[in-house]
């Protein structure tokens, strides 16, 4: 029983390396942790958070729980709520926003 966790992490690490649900450099969310995968080891996966901290996540946790891979696809849909003042011209604000977005190459 003492080696149960060790063997779970080992087997999960091997399965992650074989099935490759995420790769080094992917941005993932696991539980309350979000960041970039720096290394996938046999026992654990190393994650660099956006505020530059390292999180060591046991592979059994990654294999048995939900993992969101933000960089799995090359395009993502994003919704942004924009507010303007009550006295502002809505048509002008919409025109300015759309013109600004049209100038950004990364946005389709």
pLDDT digits (tens, 9 = 90+) for 10-49: 899 999 999 999 999 999 999 999 999 999 998 999 999 9
- For residue 78, pLDDT over 90 is answered with no
Among 35, 31, 32, smallest CA distance to 53 is for 35
Rounded CA separation 31/50 (Å): 15
Instruction: Using the predicted structure, report yes or no on whether residue 108 has a pLDDT greater than 80.
Output: no
Cα–Cα distance for residue pair 67/81, rounded to 1 Å: 26
Evaluate whether residue 12 is within a structural domain.
yes
Q: What is the CATH number of the domain that holds 32?
A: 2.30.30.60
Has residue 8 been placed in a domain?
A: yes
Q: Cα–Cα distance between 49 and 54 in angstroms, integer?
A: 6
Rounded to two decimals, the pTM is 0.73
How many structural domains compose the chain?
1
């Amino acid at each position: 029983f003492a080696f149960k966790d060790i063997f779970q992490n080992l087997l999960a690490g091997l399965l992650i390396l074989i099935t490759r649900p995420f790769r080094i450099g992917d941005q993932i969310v696991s539980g309350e942790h979000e960041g970039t995968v720096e290394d996938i080891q046999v026992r654990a996966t190393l994650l660099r958070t956006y505020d530059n901290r390292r999180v060591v996540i046991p592979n059994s946790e990654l294999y048995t729980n939900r993992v969101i891979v933000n960089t799995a696809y090359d395009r993502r849909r994003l919704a942004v709520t924009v507010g303007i003042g009550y006295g502002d011209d809505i048509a002008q604000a919409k025109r300015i926003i759309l013109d600004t977005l049209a100038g950004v190459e990364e946005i389709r």
